[in-house]
Amino acid sequence: MQAGSRLPRITILYPEDKMTKRKKTVVCLCAALGILAAAFVAYVLFFALSARALPGTKIGNVSVTGMTRAQICAELEKSAQTEKVTFSGEGIRQTQATLADMGYTLDARKTADLAFASGRSPIRYLTGLFTSDTTAPLLVADAEKTQRFADKIIVSTVKDRVREPAVSAVNGKFTVTEGKPGRGVDPQDIEAGARKLAAAQKSLSFPLQVKEINPQRQAQEFSRAANEANRLLSAEVRLRVGEDTISPTKEEKIPWVSINQKDVSFNRDKVKEWISAKTSEISHGSTKGVRAVDKDGVVIRIIKKAVPEVHVTNSDEVVKIIIEQLEKNNGATAEVKTKTGELQWEDRIIETSPDGKQLAYQPTAGEKWIDVNLSTFKMTAYEGTTVVRGPITVVTGTNRTPTAEGTFKIWHKTAKQDMRGTGPDGTPYLTKDVPWNMFFKGSYAIHGAPWWHSWGFQASHGCVNTPVPHAKWLYDWAPQGTTVVVHH
């Protein structure tokens, strides 16, 4: 070699260098896998510890990924209450309905539980990233309500409708009415609409059609209900009210029996209505009485009878007893308990005549009353012991048709009416437009008599015939309830 010339560079590859490169590749792969594993663990821990629905979890058509049970329940309940399906079609009255309107209840809690139960297997944490797991909303059906809804949405022009068997009361007895095929909406079509609405969780339209269908149930299914209802009707019920015992008729008991599809029960409100009606005669408020007393407080007479308050104290208990006994056996007896209040009185001191004269009646201060003296044919109006009108000369009944004697109260008044009856010889009579009538005993009355031009004798059919101006004044002055004393 010449001086200053360079030697060629020779690189020698040893086996150890090849291994180093492979190690780097392996390390990178391991690191990537570790990161993925860590991410997967974090993903698993997040959904496991936070109790949230896994990716790919759906209820119906709606994804609930990442939602808690409470959130899922809230969303399901909200959609069940607010979202509606619109039914339409030939023979169908266009109707918007929620699940409840159609007779369905969405069990949000159980639906959420099913979604979580199916989405918590170990493999689901992995497959949930790539596939869906769908849970159908759980609906609880009320078949009778669905049937009523199906009947309601049919337009009135549809004839020959399907008729379902039913239990009804006829002539005091429950019987089963046979169903018959006819035109109607199949409840299964309503169910399909309800399930579609529950799955979508948003309002939608659903076509329906009226078609020939059979009754959904058989008449024999209702036989047990009819027999049980008739057993309840035939059971003896005794309600002891004071000294009386009252029993309802079968017709009165029919409203007590409630039949829901094939289940028979008592309608507590109807039982209570009957009990309240039967005890109403002894349940009442108080009436304050009025007594006439002398100056020493001694009661001379009762002007108005006092009535104490009486009310039933155990209505709810009686209803409970009757229903429990009827459900256990074939009869029921219950006693009504009452509470009676104190008598309330207003005492009025009787007045003494200013001249010391004995009157036919002992009035209280200011009390209005009418004195009719059959011996003198005189009628006088008093307020207390003070004369305010009269004496008025009148015509009274004959010996064959005498005016009734005694102490009475005006019970009815009419400004004008026809008077009719039969005379002592059997001849009927009719006097039209008799004015200012005040009846004090049955048909006996004080009234105007425009047909008389003289007074002071016996000639009437028993009434107190009075000059019209005086009759009008008395009619305006004396209220119903005014005392009338007729005497000799």
Q: What is the pLDDT of residue 1?
A: 47
For the record, the structure tokens of 270 come out as 């109807």
CA distances from 306 to 240, 294, 342, 345 (A): 26, 19, 10, 7
- CA distance to 38, 41, 54, per residue, from 46 (Å): 12, 8, 10
The answer to whether 321 and 332 are in contact (CB under 8 A) is yes
**Which element (helix H / strand E) includes 420?**
strand 412-422
- The contacts of residue 269 (CB under 8 Å, 6+ apart) are none
User: Can you give the pLDDT at residue 177?
Assistant: 86
Could you tell me the CA-to-CA distances from 45 to 41, 165, 175, 476 in Å, in that order?
Answer: 6, 57, 64, 97
DSSP H stretches of helix in 413-453: none
What confidence score (pLDDT) does residue 15 get?
54
Local confidence pLDDT in tens for the 488 residues of the chain: 455 555 556 555 555 555 576 776 766 777 666 666 655 555 555 555 557 777 778 899 998 887 888 999 999 999 999 999 999 998 999 999 999 999 999 999 999 988 887 655 566 665 556 667 888 999 999 988 998 899 899 988 878 888 888 888 888 888 888 888 999 999 999 999 999 999 999 999 999 999 999 888 888 888 888 888 888 788 888 988 878 888 888 888 888 888 876 678 878 888 888 888 887 777 888 999 988 888 788 888 888 899 999 888 888 888 888 888 877 776 889 898 889 999 999 888 877 777 667 788 888 888 999 999 999 999 999 998 899 998 999 999 999 999 999 999 999 999 999 998 887 777 888 999 999 999 999 999 999 999 999 999 999 999 999 999 999 999 999 999 999 999 98
Bridge partners, residue 263, by sequence: 260
pLDDT at 127: 58
Q: Could you give the 3-state DSSP secondary structure of residue 222?
A: helix
Residue 121 dihedral angles phi and psi, to the nearest 5°: -70, 150
Q: Whole-angstrom Cα distance, residue 394 to residue 391? A: 9
pTM, two decimals, is 0.46
* 189 within 8 A of 155, measured Cβ to Cβ: no
